[in-house]
Structure 1
Amino acid sequence: MPLDNLLTSLRELPESATRDAYLRFLDSAGDAALRRNGGPEHVTGSCFVFSPEFDHVLLCFHRKGQFWVQFGGHIESKDASVAEAAQREAREESGNGELVLLSPAIMDLDRHELHAGFSCTAHWDVGFAAAITPGVEISVSDESEDVRWFPINELPAQVPAGFCARLERVRRTAMSS
């Protein structure tokens, strides 16, 4: 069951205010937290895609948000876990059907408010990581305007607030996994 799997994974993380807020949200919302139509706030899964050397990151230019960001989206009924949803979304949005998560371990938690263009008010994002070779074929999905590799130290200006710090935390965690 995806909710039980997520609760177990969250409880395995070190205690933090963010982790505890996720646990409170899931305890109050239950299974509805994992459905797009389960309420104005719900869980999403995302995937940071790195080069094998962890010196480049593959980002998409989000059509609705108008910023560069990691791949991700809503959990679907066919997804057995949030990690599986993150992997599926990364495959769909990057055009790389062979992409595989480095680990099923949670590497990022980011609750963010949503604005114009979104039907929901907030996403409780659960992030994972993958690594693929920059030379592999990628393509742009209908949810993005572009997909492109960036050197870790030369990210584009149009990224969400706090993204650079999150990316660096995920990169360090992924490198040690």
Structure 2
Amino acid sequence: MPDSALRSPTDDLIDRLRAWTPLAPGQAMLRDEYLDFLADSPGAALRRDGGPEHVTGSCFVFTPDLAQVLLCFHRKGRFWVQLGGHVESADASVAAAAYREAREECGIADLVPLGPGILDVDRHTLGGGFRCSAHWDVGFAAVARPEAAPVASDESDDVAWWPVDALPENVPPHFDRRLAGVLAELAHRLD
């Protein structure tokens, strides 16, 4: 990919989406919908104030053995979910936004990204309490030192490690399937 300092975050995301060949056919179809969404509103798609639907970045934070995932109890949503959030004007890419949000939301500064590529996409509608109606979320992953102690941010009531095969009951619908897809993508890349 060309020097990211010369490209917009939207161009970077388009390049990453085009380069990604998801394992799951449903993810491939959704990836194509993301490309259409970005083409239809390139200037606004990544801005929080760009419309009721926009792109967000998530970071699934794991222990090095991928046995545990770090989740936050989202204050507005009232559920356990991966770390992440909106793209800010200072973010060079959606990936940079995802990693920044993860560091801010868990208080662990030395997260190690697990490669530059996209691991999943997840478009979801939002209920009451949110200013926007839908997030076009793009998932990345990182690892944290096992001894790193997470600290909740202003946006979360709690942050905690959970076994990937024993998630809390109050997660968003289909979150277990999303996490399984991310782990499958990681396993495929790390082979």
- Report how many residues are paired: 177
The answer to whether the Cα contact below 8 Å between 1:87 and 1:100 also exists between their aligned partners in 2 is no
TM-score by length of 1: 0.97
Q: Which residue of 1 aligns with 2:15?
A: 8
Cα distance, 1:40 vs structure 2 = 0.5
Q: CA shift at 1:164, angstroms?
A: 0.5
For 2:82, the equivalent position in structure 1 comes to 70
1:101 to 2:113 alignment: yes
Out of 94, 100, 104, the residue aligned to residue 92 of structure 1 is 104
Post-superposition offset of 1:160: 0.7
* TM-score normalised according to structure 2 size: 0.90
Give the AA of the match of 1:164: D
- Which AA in structure 1 matches 2:92? A
Contact 2:108-2:144 within 8 A present in 1 as well: no
2:142 aligns with 130
How far apart are the structure 1 equivalents of 2:128 and 2:49? 18
- Displacement of 1:100: 2.6
1:135 CA displacement = 1.5
1-structure distance, mates of 2:101, 2:119? 16
Matched, 1:42 2:54: yes
Question: What 5-or-longer segments of structure 2 have no aligned partner?
Answer: 1-7, 23-27
Whether contact under 8 Å (2:60, 2:141) holds in the other structure is: yes
3-state SS of the aligned residue for 2:127? Answer: coil
Which residue in 1 is equivalent to 2:132? 120
Mapped to 2, the partners of 1:49 and 1:88 lie a distance apart of 12
What's the CA shift string for 1:65-106, capped at 9, x where partnerless? 111000000000110000000000000001011113111100
Q: Displacement of 1:14 after TM fit?
A: 2.5
1:40-69: CA deviation from partner (whole Å, max 9, x where unpaired): 000000000111011111100000011100
Matched, 1:161 2:173: yes
Deviations 1:88-134 (A, max 9, x none): 00000010111131111000100000110000000000000011123
RMSD between aligned alpha carbons?
1.1
| Identity over aligned pairs, percent | 57
Give SS of 1:166's match.
helix
**Structure 1: 5+ residue stretches without partners:** none
Counterparts of 1:168 and 1:133, CA distance in 2: 22
